[in-house]
Structure 1
Amino acid sequence: MSKEELKLLRNRVTELRAEGKYKETIENCYNLIKKAMKLKDYKSLLTAYINLGASYYCIGDIELAFESLSKHSEYCDKYGDEEDILNSSNILALLYEYNKDYVSSKDTLKKAIDLGKKLRKYNIVSNAYSNYAHICMIEENYTEALEMAVIGLEIARLHKPASKILELRVRLNIGKALIGLDDFKNSKHIIDEIINDEILDLFIREKSQVYHLKGCWYSKQKLYKEALESYNVAKTLVESYNDIHLLQIIQEERCKLCDDMGNIDLGYQVQKEYITLLKEINNRELQSMALKLQVKHNMAEMRKKANMDFLTGLYNRSYIEVTANQWLKNDKIICIVFDVDKFKSFNDNYGHLFGDEVIKKVSRTCLNIIKKPDLVGRFGGDEFVILIKGNSKEKAISKAEQLLEGIRNLKIHDGNDVISITISIGISDNIDRIITDFKELFELADRGLYKAKKNGRNQICTYD
């Protein structure tokens, strides 16, 4: 894949998340990660992990969202710029809020505010202040919430080009904080200004939020009839774009209002609507759980495929190298390296399809002899690697002898011809724990393999 194709995939990932297609986003993110790793395109890796984290957050898998952001942070430290750090801060703050870790969420927002100011990303800074105000209101600290929202509005006005909707979103939080402080005069003024703003016709979500805020304004003053009318408008608007969680909040408040008003008939009707909504929420949660399970299954399959050699079904070179280096940290390992004698002649005389058949037959023989926890993989071409944990050279040599004999007994047919094959094997180990890197261990086994070739092939040589 070229750099240009990678860029298209990067854009595709961002577009899919913007469209709310989280399953497709996640699948494409893993595809992007795989291809970006090959090309060492770290900007693409950062894009993949930030969208992966956001998508997992949106389907409710917070554990995987944190894991993805952790990976993003890891690459960000090495290859990212300050804008990458700023982007991850916003999602991280949402994750902390989701887990009700408001201290960590506010700390993250403070860092985002400082960095955003430095980079003059005033829209992000304004949103951060607004989110900070939102958390303060959850904690019922309306004074600080108002302070944060007012600063957020000042910052929103610095954004170029000017954005009325950016300002309006902050003003909604100002109005909410004022209601919390029982400042009904100023909060009513803000609500009226927002409701009469023509821009609301373009932003249905914000329009529903302001009617919900108006309902809160009436309700806190025990003007129940007017509050119910505002909530009814908010409910109709929310149903049009199907924000089921805001709808639940509105329905709960409508139920309470009916009780406060003593309107039994209306209360019964609203309760029926609420029960129907709860059933829908339950169904959606089940669907979300099914989606998460499906995504996890798909991701497990993709990870498995990423670790496997396509032709043989054995582990590939990348997996072998990574696993060997992990084992070498704590374990004694014996490394067996072998290849097919005179393999090039099979391709030259019988064709590459026959050569592929030889590789597959050898792989099946390996799987019959090498069992877990030992590991066997195709290193490339006709070269294979086997990793055996432990300090028994005798066991390793015994396995190698079984392999040598098993390959000798293979008979591969090509028309009327029956072809026999042999292999040459080299063995190395880190039993003395001096070797800590797979490349060094492999190189020593490869020297043993070269020695076996030089001595006439079809044999085992241990490199000491």
Structure 2
Amino acid sequence: MTKKELVKLQQEVTLLRAEGKYKDTIQNCFSLLNASMEMKDYKSILTAYINLAASYYCIGDIEEAFKCIEEHEAICNIHGDDLDKLNSYNISFLIYEYNKNIDKSKATLEKSIALGKKLNKYNIVSNAYSNYSHICMLDEDYNKALEMGILGLDAAKLHKPASPILELRVKLNIAKAYIYLKDFHDSKVLLDEMLNSPFLDSFPREKSQCYDLEGQWYREQNLYRQAYESFTNAKVIVESYNDIYLLKTIQEERCKLCELMDDFNLGYKLQKEYISILKEISERELSLAALKLEIKHNIMLLEKKAYTDQLTGIYNRDYLENTTNNWLNEAYQKNESVVCLVLDIDRFKCINDEFGHLFGDEVVKQVSRACSNIIREDDLIGRFGGDEFVIILRGASLNDGIKKAEQILETIRSLNINYGDKTIDITVSIGVTDNLDSMAMHFSELFRAADMRLYKAKRSGRNQICAVS
């Protein structure tokens, strides 16, 4: 993939998430990750992880979202800039809020505010103060909520160009704090100002929140009929953009008000509407659960494709190297043995030249299959390239490796591979080593030692094993 194609894929991922196509976003993010890791393009890696985290959050897979945030933070600490850190704080807050972790939510917002001020990103600072105000209200600390809201409004006014909707979003929190501090005068002044804003019709979500807040203002003063009308206005607007969870909250308020107004006929009608909303929520959650399973299945296929050799179906070179490096690291710490067998097909070039490459491919597949049937379930086999294979035995001794090589040698000799009426004899040569004998700490060192022994076996006449240096 070229740099230009990588940038295009970054843009595609960001656009898909903005359009709410989370399944496509996640799948494209994994393609972006594979390409950017290969090119060591850390900006692209960070873009992939932040979009993965946000998409997993939006489909309710919080565990996967957390994993992506952790990966993003680890890379960001080494290769990221302040804007990358700011993105990380913003998505981390959403997850902490979802899990109702008040302390971590506040700590993350404080980092976001400090960094946003440093970068003069006053829209982010304002949103962070607004979110802080919201968290304080969940904690029923309305004085602190008011203080954070006022700071958020000050930050919104510093944002250039001026953004009335940014200011209104903070005012919603300020008005709510006033209501629960029983300051009905100042809260009403703010509510009327917001509801009469000329731009409000362009922002249905914020308009519904204004009416929802007006309903709370009336309800706190026991003005139940007026509160019901305000919540009904909010309901009509929410239905236009179909936020089913906000609709559920508003409907609960309307049902309670029917009881307070002793209007049982209306209450019965609203309960039927409420049951319908709960049914839709249940259906959506089932759909999300199915979507999560589908995404996990697709990601498993993508990962398998990334680590699998297309011709043989066994692991490829990348997976071999990465996994063996991990095993060698653990073996070093525990003073354990890791055995490496490197084998290739004798006179394979002659087979290709005489019978053609398609037949050569068939030979490679049959040798791969025969070796796979011999090794243990916990061992590792991969195609290193061409007709060369690598087998890694974990926790086995060098003698175990030699016995396994003898078994493979005998099995390959007995293969019956036909070309028309002719049976072609196939043999292999094998080099065997272990990490203790070769002092190997990395795959490349272990492979090199076994590969040298393989070529010693070749020079000694092929169709044999070499396990000495």
- 2:69 is matched with 69
SS class of match (2:311): coil
SS class of match (1:425): strand
- 1:116 is matched with 116
Matched, 1:372 2:372: no
- 1:356 is matched with 361
- 2:325 is matched with 325
Matched, 1:420 2:407: no
Q: CA–CA distance in 2 between the matches of 1:110 and 1:379? A: 50
- 1:284 is matched with 284
Q: Which amino acid aligns with 1:148?
A: M
Q: Which amino acid aligns with 2:348?
A: F
Question: Percent of aligned pairs with the same residue?
Answer: 60
Q: CA–CA distance in 2 between the matches of 1:121 and 1:436? A: 47
1:216 CA displacement: 0.7
Q: CA–CA distance in 2 between the matches of 1:360 and 1:431? A: 32
- 1:53 is matched with 53
- 2:148 is matched with 148
* Cα distance change on mapping 1:140 and 1:375 into 2, 3 Å: same
Q: CA–CA distance in 2 between the matches of 1:230 and 1:304? A: 54
- 2:225 is matched with 225
- Check conservation: 1:447, 1:463, Cα contact below 8 A: no
- 2:352 is matched with 347
Q: Which amino acid aligns with 2:401?
A: A
Matched, 1:39 2:31: no
- Check conservation: 2:130, 2:149, Cα contact below 8 A: yes
For structure 1, which segment, 410-419 or 67-76, has the greater mean C-alpha deviation from structure 2 after superposition?
410-419
* Cα distance change on mapping 1:459 and 1:138 into 2, 3 Å: same
Q: Which amino acid aligns with 1:393?
A: L
1:432 CA displacement: 6.1
Q: Which amino acid aligns with 1:311?
A: L
- 2:465 is matched with 460
Matched, 1:174 2:179: no
For structure 1, which segment, 302-311 or 124-133, has the greater mean C-alpha deviation from structure 2 after superposition?
302-311
1:415 CA displacement: 4.4
- Check conservation: 1:235, 1:247, Cα contact below 8 A: yes
1:259-315: CA deviations, max 9, x gaps?
111111111111111111111111111111111122112222222222211111101
For structure 2, the residue ranges without an aligned partner over 5 or more in a row are: none
Counterpart among 397, 400, 410 of residue 415 in structure 2: 410
When normalised by structure 2's length, the TM-score is 0.96
1:190 CA displacement: 0.9
For structure 1, which segment, 441-450 or 414-423, has the greater mean C-alpha deviation from structure 2 after superposition?
414-423
Q: CA–CA distance in 2 between the matches of 1:244 and 1:175? A: 24
Root-mean-square deviation (CA, aligned residues, Å) is: 1.5
Q: Which amino acid aligns with 1:289?
A: A
When normalised by structure 1's length, the TM-score is 0.97
- Check conservation: 1:215, 1:228, Cα contact below 8 A: yes
Q: Which amino acid aligns with 1:428?
A: T
Q: Which amino acid aligns with 2:404?
A: K
1:95 CA displacement: 0.7
- 1:17 is matched with 17
- Check conservation: 2:218, 2:224, Cα contact below 8 A: yes
- 1:400 is matched with 405
Matched, 1:438 2:443: yes
Q: CA–CA distance in 2 between the matches of 1:444 and 1:433? A: 7
SS class of match (1:339): strand
For structure 1, which segment, 302-311 or 63-72, has the greater mean C-alpha deviation from structure 2 after superposition?
302-311
- 1:207 is matched with 207
- Check conservation: 1:444, 1:463, Cα contact below 8 A: no
Q: CA–CA distance in 2 between the matches of 1:340 and 1:180? A: 80
For structure 1, which segment, 365-374 or 186-195, has the greater mean C-alpha deviation from structure 2 after superposition?
365-374
Matched, 1:103 2:108: no
- 1:82 is matched with 82
- 2:236 is matched with 236
1:434 CA displacement: 4.1
- 2:293 is matched with 293
Q: Which amino acid aligns with 2:52?
A: L
Q: CA–CA distance in 2 between the matches of 1:168 and 1:420? A: 81
For structure 1, the residue ranges without an aligned partner over 5 or more in a row are: none
1:100-134: CA deviations, max 9, x gaps?
11100100110011111111111111111110110
SS class of match (2:185): helix
Q: Which amino acid aligns with 1:346?
A: I
Matched, 1:130 2:130: yes
1:30 CA displacement: 1.1
Q: Which amino acid aligns with 1:41?
A: D
